[in-house]
């Protein structure tokens, strides 16, 4: 019997090899059965609409879990955050801290609530946070901030694209004035141009106050975009308010070099004896691991090099009402470990895409507001501090996971906490 090649093996593993052509066609064809019951078309929250949706679902067990009395009592609070509402999901929340941060905006010992279903995660971040505190705290610096929107315009020729740009660069003050009319808290701080043949991308950079700001910059940019379409002497063949150059909710090399959201660098120096005492490994072993894993990251095509930013970010974002999808861009950055001349461990993280806010979005919902209150950073004036705290949390996670891998404890910790009952 001839050997199967890799593609044939994959086909066999999917069990498609056991189906004949007619069977595949039948299974993938459009069914003749009628569509299941359709839910109400009204997307808003009201007792009547929620009841209609549950009537469609006809699942009392699920309803008891998702639409409990507290959820029913609070449901008006979700009006601006969800459509087709049927209830709330209960996530377990673990506590990390105290974690000492010595930042430009965050100066305190912080407790952080993390919402996750992954065993060992909170324990790992807590270990790193307590190590940071025992070493005197991490130094954190918010370096820059900007949220981007990038409308795109396609013209018939390169010459038309050039004419459009020649006009647009003389109208920056007008664009800023139009954008400013849409927001009290946001500000259009810079505009740049990227030309790709007959395509033109305008790169708008905003500051957004204490909000994460994605809706804010979308609304402001849309007004400028409409102004451009109404006033441009060169009419594009087609145009869109966002042309995928902003890096929104995706990992990009552009964001690694620049900023999307808030860029923060955090560092700490940990004495060798403390590394040995708390992480059960050596400075040399941790530095060697970082060197080897950095090469692995390059080989894998990673944008930036780090251990597991996404774990801490997702847990904190869900707990504190951030846009969880922004983990895609926020989990880009660089972790670096070095041995100092004195033999201590120098550790740093640089994260250029922290999309966090303390007002707007989901930050005012009951559970999420409670979590921000635990951190001590709810409301206006706290977004910069939250960014510094978030980056420090990620440093805590890096120290802990690299320590576990260096000491050979990584699998043991997961086995103990995830499997032992």
Report helix angle 272-279 to 121-134, nearest 10.
Answer: 150
Q: Are 380 and 129 in contact (CB under 8 A)?
A: no
273 is catalytic: no
Per DSSP, the three-state class of 117 is coil
Q: Is 409 a catalytic residue?
A: no
For 301: left if phi > 0, alpha if psi spans -120 to 50, otherwise beta; the answer is left
332: Cβ contacts below 8 Å, ≥ 6 apart: 251, 252, 255, 256, 303, 304, 309, 351, 352, 353
Half-sphere exposure of 388 (CA within 13 A, CB side): 26
386 and 356 in contact (C-beta within 8 Å)? yes
Nearest C-alpha neighbor of 360 from the set 378, 387, 386: 378
**341 among known catalytic residues:** no
Task: State whether residue 238 is helix, strand or coil.
Answer: strand
Helix (H) / strand (E) containing 263:
strand 261-270
Tell me if 213 sits within 8 A of 260, measured CB to CB.
no
Burial class (CB within 10 angstroms; exposed 0-12, middle 13-18, buried 19+) of 232: middle
d(CA 39, CA 43): 10
Q: Which element (helix H / strand E) includes 206?
A: strand 199-207
Residue of 118, 134, 223, 242 with catalytic role: 118
Backbone angles phi, psi at 182, to 5 degrees: -95, -10
d(CA 308, CA 333): 10
Write down the catalytic residue from 267, 323, 338, 409: 323
The answer to whether 257 and 143 have CB atoms below 8 angstroms apart is no
Token pair for residue 11? 């086909």
Residues forming the active site: 118, 323, 414
């Amino acid at each position: 019997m001839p050997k199967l090649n890799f593609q044939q093996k994959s086909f066999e593993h999917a069990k498609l090899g056991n189906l004949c052509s007619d069977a595949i066609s039948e299974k993938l064809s459009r069914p003749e059965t009628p569509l299941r019951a359709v839910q109400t078309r009204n997307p808003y929250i009201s007792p009547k609409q929620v009841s209609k949706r549950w009537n469609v679902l006809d699942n009392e067990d699920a309803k008891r879990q998702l639409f409990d009395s507290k959820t029913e009592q609070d449901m008006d609070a979700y009006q601006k955050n969800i459509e087709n509402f049927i209830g709330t999901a209960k996530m377990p929340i673990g506590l990390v801290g105290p974690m000492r941060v010595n930042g430009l905006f965050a100066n305190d010992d912080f407790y952080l609530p993390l919402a996750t279903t992954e065993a060992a995660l909170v324990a790992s971040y807590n270990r790193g946070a307590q190590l940071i505190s025992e070493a005197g705290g991490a130094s954190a610096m918010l370096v820059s901030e900007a949220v981007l929107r990038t409308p795109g315009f396609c013209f018939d020729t390169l010459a038309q694209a050039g004419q459009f740009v020649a006009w647009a660069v003389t109208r920056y003050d007008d664009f800023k004035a139009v954008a400013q009319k849409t927001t009290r808290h946001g500000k259009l701080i810079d505009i740049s141009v990227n030309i790709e043949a007959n395509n033109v991308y305008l790169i708008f950079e905003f500051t957004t106050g204490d909000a994460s700001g994605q809706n804010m910059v979308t609304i402001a940019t849309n007004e400028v975009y409409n102004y451009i379409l109404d006033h441009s002497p060169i009419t594009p063949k087609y145009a869109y308010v966002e042309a995928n150059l902003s890096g929104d909710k995706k990992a990009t090399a552009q964001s690694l070099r620049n900023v999307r959201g808030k860029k923060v660098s955090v560092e700490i120096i940990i004495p060798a004896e403390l590394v040995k005492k708390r992480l059960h490994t050596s400075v040399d072993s941790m530095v060697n691991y970082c060197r080897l894993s950095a090469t692995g990251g390059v080989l894998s095509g990673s944008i930036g090099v780090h251990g597991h930013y996404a774990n801490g970010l997702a847990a904190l974002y869900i707990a504190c009402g951030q846009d969880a999808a922004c983990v895609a861009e926020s989990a880009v950055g660089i972790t670096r470990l070095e041995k100092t001349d004195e033999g201590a461990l120098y550790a740093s993280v640089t994260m250029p895409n922290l999309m966090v806010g303390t007002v707007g979005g989901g930050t005012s919902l009951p559970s999420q507001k409670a979590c921000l209150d635990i951190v001590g950073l709810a409301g206006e004036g706290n977004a910069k501090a939250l960014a510094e705290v978030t980056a420090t949390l990620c440093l805590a996670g890096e120290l802990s996971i690299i320590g576990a891998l260096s000491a050979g404890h990584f699998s043991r910790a997961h086995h103990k906490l995830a499997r032992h009952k």
